[in-house]
């Protein structure tokens, strides 16, 4: 096999989910407050009512319909994008901009963290994605669900991987592949 991929656990997901739900509630309260403070026949009232509904609907869906599904959570993050437009339309540009930035960061934070080990390089899921050459690596091993990458500059990266997310990964085949790549570098 000439390529292996390992999915790393995303430890920031839980914190981001709590923060997202909190910001959803704050937005609902903000849109509701704004809607009650302006005349019922004004465009600001209509826009803030729609903005509140845009945030409220996916939040309720997340809690009451298949709570554990990631797609429901992405609906909340997408609703932030739409709500940011409504905040800007009613004249709150800073709130809209901050909510837009938060929605973009949400997509970045919630992505799958996957390390690709190819014959030519290692692709690490940083932001932006980092390509590391095999000649930078001193040792690399996967043992007991712990991935250890030891670099020649004394930098060390360790990750505990989740077996459920890496079901098709054969530890022995992976370590054999890695040793072949490291041996090819020393022979060159």
Vertex 146: Cα angle to 144 and 152 (nearest 5): 130
Q: CA nearest 105: which of 124, 127, 85, 89?
A: 127
Residue 109: predicted pLDDT? 82
Mean pLDDT value of segment 33-52: 88
Confidence band for 38, pLDDT divided at 50, 70 and 90: confident
- 118-147 pLDDT, tens digit per residue, is 988 999 988 888 999 988 989 999 998 899
Which tokens is 166 given?
């890496």
Compute the distance between CA of residue 174 and CA of residue 169 in angstroms, rounded to an integer: 8
Q: Please name the residue that has the structure tokens 């339309």.
A: 89
Residue 126: predicted pLDDT? 84
Mean pLDDT value of segment 31-46: 88
Q: CA nearest 147: which of 157, 133, 137?
A: 157
Sheet holding 137-143, edge to edge: 137-143, 146-151, 156-160
- 58-101 pLDDT, tens digit per residue, is 888 888 776 656 666 778 888 999 999 999 999 999 999 999 99
Q: What is the 3-state secondary structure (H, E, C) of the chain?
A: CCEEEEEECCCCHHHHHHHHHHHHHHHHHHHHHHHHHCCCCCHHHHHHHHHHHHHHHHHHHHHHCCCCCHHHHHHHHHHHHHHHHHHHHCCCHHHHHHHHHHHHHHHHHCCCEEEEEECCEEEECCCCCEEEEHHHEEEEEEECCEEEEEECCCCEEEEECCCHHHCCCCHHHHHHHHHHHHHHHHHC
Whether pTM exceeds 0.95 = no
CATH of domain 112-187: 2.30.29.30
Mean pLDDT value of segment 6-27: 88
Compute the distance between CA of residue 141 and CA of residue 183 in angstroms, rounded to an integer: 14
Task: Indicate the average pLDDT of the chain.
Answer: 87
Residue 167: predicted pLDDT? 84
């Amino acid at each position: 096999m000439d390529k292996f991929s390992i999915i790393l656990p995303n430890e920031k997901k839980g914190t981001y989910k709590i923060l997202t739900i909190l910001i959803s509630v704050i937005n609902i309260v903000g849109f509701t407050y704004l809607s009650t403070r302006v005349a019922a026949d004004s465009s600001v009232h209509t826009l803030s009512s729609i903005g509140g509904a845009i945030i409220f609907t996916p939040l309720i869906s997340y809690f009451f319909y298949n709570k554990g599904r990631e797609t429901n959570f992405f609906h909340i993050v997408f609703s932030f994008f739409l709500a940011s437009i409504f905040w800007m339309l009613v004249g709150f540009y800073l709130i809209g901009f901050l909510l837009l930035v938060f929605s973009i960061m949400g997509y970045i934070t919630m992505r799958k963290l996957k390390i690709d080990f190819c014959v030519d390089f290692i692709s690490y899921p940083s932001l932006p994605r980092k390509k590391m050459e095999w000649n930078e690596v001193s040792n690399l091993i996967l043992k007991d669900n712990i991935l250890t990458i030891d670099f020649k500059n004394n930098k060390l990266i360790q990750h505990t991987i989740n077996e459920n997310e890496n079901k098709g990964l054969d530890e022995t085949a992976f370590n054999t592949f890695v040793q072949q790549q490291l041996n090819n570098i020393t022979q060159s």
